[in-house]
């Protein structure tokens, strides 16, 4: 990952309250003082309740804010508890995570994800589009078929893909502490990038890895040629650990 623009996306999941904003101070200070900081992008994706406070906290920094999901509806409507891309953008939010395996597991289909991506792009949000295979699919050697199908269906009818970042997160790896073998990750990310470039006509695609990324395994993960960064879950909730992951990526 040397000399590449690196993404560190902090997915806070269902974590945090207003006092949690204080934990950002260390990351803000690190980003300002680190000489390699110009070559990285830090994006925080907190729960909906913290998006506005995060944006206010980070407004004088280069650290960006994203949402963890959005509705596929572009306009106001009756779905109780739903938030659409237009509402997220109105907060001056810049990114949104879509297609996360936790949502897919609850019945979110490729078609729904596609509609969400289209809505997000129409509202000028940058999309972090998650793809990943289950353990069963991996065991049956269906990883490639599954990922390419998710990409094809998720990006259907989307011509301009410059504001889409792919996050490869094996479903079986999330929260398990396990990661794929490095040679498997090298091969899988290469397949993803080739497919995006050759079949989807996506110039210079960005691919992140997500799934139990921590300060211990990042020393292995950082050497994967086709990776442009990481989607980090629980480890990003602790500023010291998050900073340590970033530092180790550069070393």
- The residues annotated as belonging to the active site are 100, 169
Q: Distance of CA 194 to CAs 6, 59, 89, 113, Å?
A: 19, 36, 31, 22
Query: ∠ CA 99-196-211 to the nearest 5 degrees?
Result: 40
Plot region of 169 (φ>0 → left; ψ -120 to 50 → alpha; else → beta): beta
Contacts of 188 (CB under 8 A, 6+ apart): 143, 144, 147, 168, 180
3-state secondary structure of 97: strand
């Amino acid at each position: 990952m040397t000399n590449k623009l690196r993404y560190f996306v902090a997915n806070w999941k269902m974590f945090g309250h207003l006092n949690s904003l204080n934990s950002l101070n260390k990351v803000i200070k690190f980003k300002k003082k680190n000489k390699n900081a110009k070559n990285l992008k830090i994006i925080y994706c907190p729960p909906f309740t913290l998006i506005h406070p995060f944006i206010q906290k980070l407004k004088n920094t280069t650290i960006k804010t994203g949402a963890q999901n959005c509705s596929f509806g572009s306009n106001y409507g009756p779905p109780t508890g739903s938030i659409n891309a237009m509402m997220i953008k109105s907060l001056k939010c810049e990114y949104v995570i879509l297609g996360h395996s936790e949502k897919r597991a609850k019945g979110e289909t490729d078609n729904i994800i596609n509609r969400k991506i289209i809505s997000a792009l129409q509202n000028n949000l940058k999309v972090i589009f998650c793809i990943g295979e289950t353990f069963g699919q991996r065991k049956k050697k269906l990883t490639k078929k599954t990922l390419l199908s998710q990409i094809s269906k998720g990006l259907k009818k989307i011509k301009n893909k410059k504001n889409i970042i792919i996050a490869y997160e094996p479903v079986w790896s999330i929260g398990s502490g396990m990661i794929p073998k490095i040679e498997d990750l090298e091969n899988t990310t290469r397949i993803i990038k080739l497919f995006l470039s050759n079949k989807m006509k996506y110039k210079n695609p960005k691919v992140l890895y997500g799934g139990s990324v921590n300060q211990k395994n990042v020393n292995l993960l950082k050497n994967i040629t086709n990776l442009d960064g990481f989607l980090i879950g629980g480890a990003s909730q602790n500023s010291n650990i998050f900073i340590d992951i970033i530092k180790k990526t550069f070393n």
